[in-house]
Amino acid sequence: MAGKLQLTLVDHHVLSPENEFLRTSVVEIIDHHPQDPAWLWSQQKVTLTTVGSCCTLVAKEVIQRCPQLISHQVAALLYGECAVSSRVMGRLACAAYVYRKVSVFISVAGAEAVGWAWAGV
């Protein structure tokens, strides 16, 4: 597929009118908002799951597809966003999920666990 633009929509699955021309380039959607019936994506990989932060879904995809990308810094960034968004939304479960997953990857990689971040939630 050389030369073909491929896009993943993250955190929203509805294109604005000025971006509708990109619809044929969308190959994947990762979103935590309710399904908009006017925007059904039948040919794309779609992840629509209600969680406190879309970052939780992104973290899950990174952990599953490319775990070697999870460094101490990436883990802290993912965890921080999930914790802040989830706390604002009143849903700490998704932050806890990311914390458990990235802690495992960091400890396997031989780096220190991200427990210092957990204390601030």
pLDDT in tens, 89-102: 555 555 566 666 55
pLDDT in tens, 70-121: 777 887 777 777 767 666 555 555 556 666 655 555 554 444 433 433 333 3
Answer for the pair 54, 63: CB distance below 8 angstroms, yes or no: no
Give the domain ranges of the chain.
7-48, 54-118
Convert 105-119 to b/e letters by CB count within 10 Å (16 or more is b).
Answer: bbeeeeeeebeebee
CA 104 to mean position of chain CA atoms: 18
Q: State pTM to two decimals.
A: 0.66
Answer for the pair 52, 94: CB distance below 8 angstroms, yes or no: yes
Nearest to 34 by CA among 20, 18, 54: 54
